[in-house]
Amino acid sequence: MTEHAHTTVLLHEAVDALNVRADGVYVDGTFGRGGHSRLILSRLGAAGRLVVFDKDPQAVALAREWAQGDARISVVHDGFATLSQALDGLGMGRADGILCDLGVSSPQLDDASRGFSFRFDAPLDMRMDTTRGQSAAEWLAQAEEQQIYEVIRDYGEERFARPIARAIVAARQDGCPIDTTGKLAQVAARCVRTRERGQDPATRTFQAVRIFINRELDEIRALLPQAAARLHTGGRLAVIAFHSLEDRIVKQFVKTHSTPPPVPKWALVRDADLPPPPLRAVGRAVKPSAAETAANARARSAVLRVAERTAAPFARDVFN
């Protein structure tokens, strides 16, 4: 297996936000190549525990190598949306901190065989977990034009989603299915009539198909309430998002659950009498420094949001 370099984004900012205790229980929802996990482990003592999740078989293989030499690590080959089920299976209740670095990793983008990038001509796969599910090529070979259009419009926010979807369907009807990254990039190049400065015309289409194939936004929506329910009082949730669709979900979740419930204007209720919310937003959204983005261009769109669990009950609390 060829290893591709990966620079962890917002490394210290994210791990510092967790306030790692030596004997605490922590979750790294996206192990990747272990950047955040390595720093968390350096702050854990012998009694601490770290549970790492990843869909990617290559990432899981690396995590299991680590776990062979470190009894503090438990590895889950699955997405972070299975958080509660996985912790139950490991006999764990609550955690002291949960960290998720969303999106695709540099090794996935830089490995042509994975089919994530329009920079290479390779089979159009795009699955984060290559052991299960439908590849992008398989989906594009049978999806209706309307569905392709909606995916590219909604997940890529692409203005030219309609002509791109139409061209994909026309190509397969002509016996030329869109089954490689090069073919999909060519379709986008023909259909995207104007583009943002410095952005390839295929960028939004590739993002949209990848998000859909991996159910990325659905998984974030499934994770957040589980994470809030699993945190001890004072435990922290730290999430790094890389595009507006992800960040919008995280921002709205934290806002909703860190704000007291609305009260009718006619109700004579003091603020002090309102039930406290189950989360507290910690600081403002954090973005990479100029130095970090200069050293790693892929960090430029990252946004870190942090929330802390309060003593107030959460709707999905089922743990002691």
Do 128 and 181 lie in one domain? The reply is yes
Q: Has 101 been labeled as part of a binding site? A: yes
* Contact assessment for residue 99 and residue 15, using Cβ atoms and an 8 Å cutoff: yes
Do 102 and 232 lie in one domain? The reply is yes
Do 145 and 176 lie in one domain? The reply is yes
* Contact assessment for residue 204 and residue 152, using Cβ atoms and an 8 Å cutoff: yes
The pLDDT value recorded for residue 2 is: 42
Report the candidate in 106, 86, 103 with the shortest Cα–Cα distance to residue 95: 86
CA distance 65 to 122: 29
Please compute the mean of the pLDDT values over residues 22-36 and round it to a whole number.
Answer: 94
Do 98 and 62 lie in one domain? The reply is yes
Q: How many CA atoms lie within 13 A of 313 on its CB side?
A: 6
Element (H, E) at 306: strand 303-309
Domain that includes residue 86, residue range = 11-106+216-309
CA distance 27 to 32: 13
Where residue 270 falls among pLDDT bands split at 50, 70, 90?
Answer: low
Is residue 4 domain-resident? Answer: no
The pLDDT value recorded for residue 303 is: 95
Do 231 and 84 lie in one domain? The reply is yes
Report the candidate in 316, 173, 179, 319 with the shortest Cα–Cα distance to residue 257: 316
pLDDT tens for each residue of 72-83: 999 999 999 999
Is residue 316 domain-resident? Answer: no
**How many folded domains does the chain comprise?**
2
Where residue 269 falls among pLDDT bands split at 50, 70, 90?
Answer: low
Do 31 and 46 lie in one domain? The reply is yes
Is residue 317 domain-resident? Answer: no
CATH number, domain containing residue 305: 3.40.50.150
The pLDDT value recorded for residue 259 is: 86
Where residue 118 falls among pLDDT bands split at 50, 70, 90?
Answer: confident
Do 148 and 88 lie in one domain? The reply is no
Q: Has 36 been labeled as part of a binding site? A: yes
pLDDT reading at 320 higher than 50? no
pTM of the model: 0.88
Q: How many CA atoms lie within 13 A of 231 on its CB side?
A: 28
The pLDDT value recorded for residue 10 is: 92
CATH number, domain containing residue 151: 1.10.150.170
Please compute the mean of the pLDDT values over residues 82-97 and round it to a whole number.
Answer: 95
Of 195, 214, 233, the residue that ends a domain is 214
Do 191 and 138 lie in one domain? The reply is yes
The b/e string for 10-26 (b: 16+ C-beta within 10 A; e otherwise) is beebbbebbbbbeebbb
Is residue 3 domain-resident? Answer: no
Query: Which stretch of 103-117, 128-142, 169-183 has the lowest confidence by average pLDDT?
Result: 103-117
The pLDDT value recorded for residue 272 is: 64
Do 159 and 209 lie in one domain? The reply is yes
Q: Has 35 been labeled as part of a binding site? A: yes
Is residue 5 domain-resident? Answer: no
Do 235 and 86 lie in one domain? The reply is yes
pLDDT tens for each residue of 167-222: 999 999 999 999 999 999 999 999 998 777 778 899 999 999 999 999 999 999 99
DSSP states of 74-138: EEEEB-GGGHHHHHHHTT---EEEEEEE-S--HHHHH-GGG---TTS--B----SSTTSS--HHH
Do 135 and 45 lie in one domain? The reply is no
Please compute the mean of the pLDDT values over residues 83-111 and round it to a whole number.
Answer: 86
The pLDDT value recorded for residue 313 is: 86
Do 170 and 244 lie in one domain? The reply is no
Where residue 300 falls among pLDDT bands split at 50, 70, 90?
Answer: confident
Q: How far is CA 8 from CA 14, 252, 306, in A?
A: 10, 25, 18
Is residue 173 domain-resident? Answer: yes
Is residue 129 domain-resident? Answer: yes
Of 168, 199, 214, the residue that ends a domain is 214
Is residue 90 domain-resident? Answer: yes
* Contact assessment for residue 108 and residue 181, using Cβ atoms and an 8 Å cutoff: no
Of 214, 242, 268, the residue that ends a domain is 214
